């Protein structure tokens, strides 16, 4: 097919306090007595005032998700096996949290109906069967996981998403009030994921008017929030949530670039998390994204954020090779960033030098 036929999220509800409409939104999706399963970020585990707002009925269950590490295929398979053993069937999976919890909700939702291990479906369009009903409720803004057609998983041999039309959420709920408790440093790292999505999409060779219109708006919102605003407020939470959405829409119809390709190597070898990993890499990418990196550095300075340095110091040749292999495996990202001849431009030697600077 010459043009991609882009699968989007089914329904979107937006607004401060919209979380209180969860019960009525879920009602038509309930199938007999099969429960709704709520995956909830561990931050909320000792927040009874929040947990009591989750509209539990019948056999519904809250599963607290440990987000110390980013989602793994083994974790997805175990959650699926546990739910199957306990309930047989479920009506749906609702992910309430950041990119990690939303991706787990997507992956487990798919694996409730697809046989085998989630590792079998890491790649593009390998999922053949629709999953159960899936809903995403972000509680931190930036990844765009709420709108994307992927759920990123670390598997036995690679970190790669289950990219498919079935992966996209059936419903998302964008309630910016849920993000007000995110600590400033973490908020910055995940927000910069959005900013970097925009820069990589807007500077990429895959750019088109669809992606550009979303990317420009999201980047403008990030700059307004992080460079112009005097202090954080509800308006900032609302704008950052919409920036995340628009940034996600921008890359959905284009691709990310150098920072993502390089940070995937760090994540695979060192377990560096997505938001902070992208910041560590982007900080050193002046030659690829001069204007974006300049703005990024200004934001870092204004918000007194510490970007870790020298994290690859002392690694062995073999470890550098592992990161280089993972990174160069992300061909579409490199092609978007550097064009069709990217292999001549980003040689193993040049990438090694880049990793050594991090």
Q: Which of 42, 108, 49, 38 is nearest to 80 (CA)?
A: 108
Asked if 75 interacts with ligand NAD (CB under 6 A), we say: no
User: Residue 92 or residue 99: which is nearer to ligand NAD going by CB?
Assistant: 99
| Smallest separation, CB 88 to ligand NAD (Å) | 28
User: Residue 98 or residue 292: which is nearer to ligand NAD going by CB?
Assistant: 98
Q: Which stretch binds ligand NAD (CB under 6 A): 96-104, 219-227, 233-241, 306-314?
A: 96-104
Judged by DSSP in three states, 324 sits in helix
User: Residue 79 or residue 269: which is nearer to Zn ion going by CB?
Assistant: 269
Among 18, 41, 257, 292, interactor with ligand NAD by CB under 6 A: 41
DSSP sequence for 96-129? EESHHHHHHHHHHHHHTTS-S-GGGG-EES---S
Judged by DSSP in three states, 278 sits in helix
Q: Which stretch binds Zn ion (CB under 5 A): 101-109, 110-118, 190-198, 336-344?
A: 190-198
β-bridge pairing 61-65 and 123-124:
unpaired
Asked if 168 interacts with ligand NAD (CB under 6 A), we say: no
Among 103, 193, 200, 238, interactor with Zn ion by CB under 5 A: 193
Nearest residue to Zn ion, by Cβ distance, number only: 193
| Smallest separation, CB 250 to Zn ion (Å) | 11
Asked if 151 interacts with ligand NAD (CB under 6 A), we say: yes
DSSP state of 248: H
* Cβ–Cβ under 8 Å, residues 274 and 193: yes
| Smallest separation, CB 81 to ligand NAD (Å) | 21
Distance of alpha carbon 343 from alpha carbon 328, whole angstroms: 9
| Smallest separation, CB 198 to Zn ion (Å) | 11
Among 70, 175, 283, 335, interactor with ligand NAD by CB under 6 A: 70
Angle between helical axes of 317-328 and 348-357 (0-180°, round to 10): 110
| Smallest separation, CB 148 to ligand NAD (Å) | 3
Q: H-type helices in the chain, by residue range?
A: 22-26, 48-51, 73-87, 99-111, 184-202, 209-223, 234-252, 258-270, 274-282, 290-302, 317-328, 331-338, 342-345, 348-357
Asked if 188 interacts with ligand NAD (CB under 6 A), we say: no
Q: Which of 220, 350, 244 is nearest to 288 (CA)?
A: 350
Asked if 146 interacts with Zn ion (CB under 5 A), we say: no
* Cβ–Cβ under 8 Å, residues 29 and 187: no
User: Residue 35 or residue 248: which is nearer to ligand NAD going by CB?
Assistant: 248
β-bridge pairing 152-154 and 159-163:
antiparallel
* Cβ–Cβ under 8 Å, residues 267 and 273: yes
User: Residue 41 or residue 70: which is nearer to Zn ion going by CB?
Assistant: 70
* Cβ–Cβ under 8 Å, residues 129 and 118: no
Asked if 219 interacts with ligand NAD (CB under 6 A), we say: no
Asked if 140 interacts with ligand NAD (CB under 6 A), we say: yes
Distance of alpha carbon 122 from alpha carbon 329, whole angstroms: 13
Asked if 144 interacts with ligand NAD (CB under 6 A), we say: yes
Among 35, 95, 97, 257, interactor with ligand NAD by CB under 6 A: 97
Among 35, 71, 136, 155, interactor with ligand NAD by CB under 6 A: 71
| Smallest separation, CB 350 to Zn ion (Å) | 22
Binding site for ligand NAD (CB under 6 A): 41-43, 67, 70-71, 97-101, 103, 139-140, 143-145, 148, 150-152, 178-179, 181-182, 186, 190, 193, 274-275
Binding site for Zn ion (CB under 5 A): 193
């Amino acid at each position: 097919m010459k043009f991609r036929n882009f699968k989007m999220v089914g329904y979107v509800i937006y607004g401060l306090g919209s979380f209180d409409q969860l019960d009525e939104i879920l009602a038509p999706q309930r199938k007999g007595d099969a429960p709704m399963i709520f995956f909830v970020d561990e931050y909320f585990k000792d927040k009874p005032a929040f947990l009591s707002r989750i509209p539990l009925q019948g056999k519904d269950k809250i599963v607290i998700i440990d987000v110390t590490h980013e989602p793994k295929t083994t974790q997805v398979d175990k959650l699926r096996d546990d739910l199957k053993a306990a309930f047989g069937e479920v009506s749906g999976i609702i992910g309430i949290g950041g990119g990690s919890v939303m991706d787990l909700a997507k992956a487990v939702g798919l694996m409730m109906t697809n046989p085998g291990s989630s590792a079998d479906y890491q790649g593009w369009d390998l999922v053949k069967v629709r999953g159960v009903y899936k809903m995403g409720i972000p509680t931190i803004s930036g990844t765009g996981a709420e709108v994307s057609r992927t759920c990123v998983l670390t598997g036995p041999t690679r970190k790669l998403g289950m990219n498919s039309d079935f992966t996209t959420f059936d419903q998302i709920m964008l309630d910016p009030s849920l993000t007000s408790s995110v600590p400033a440093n973490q908020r910055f790292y995940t927000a910069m994921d959005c900013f970097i999505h925009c820069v990589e999409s807007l500077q990429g060779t895959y750019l088109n008017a669809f992606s550009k219109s979303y990317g420009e708006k999201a980047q403008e919102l990030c700059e307004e929030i992080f460079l112009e605003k005097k202090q954080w407020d509800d308006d900032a939470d609302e704008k950052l949530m919409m920036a995340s959405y628009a940034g996600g829409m921008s890359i959905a119809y284009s691709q990310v670039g150098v920072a993502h390709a390089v940070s995937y190597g760090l994540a695979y070898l060192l377990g560096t998390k997505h938001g902070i990993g992208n910041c560590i890499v982007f900080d050193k990418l002046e030659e690829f994204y001069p204007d974006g990196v300049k703005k990024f550095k200004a934001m870092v300075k204004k918000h007194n954020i510490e970007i870790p340095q020298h994290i690859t110091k002392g690694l062995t040749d073999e470890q550098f090779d592992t990161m280089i292999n993972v990174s160069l495996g992300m061909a579409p990202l490199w092609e978007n960033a550097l064009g069709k001849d990217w292999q001549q431009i980003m040689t193993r030697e040049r990438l090694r030098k880049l990793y050594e600077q991090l």
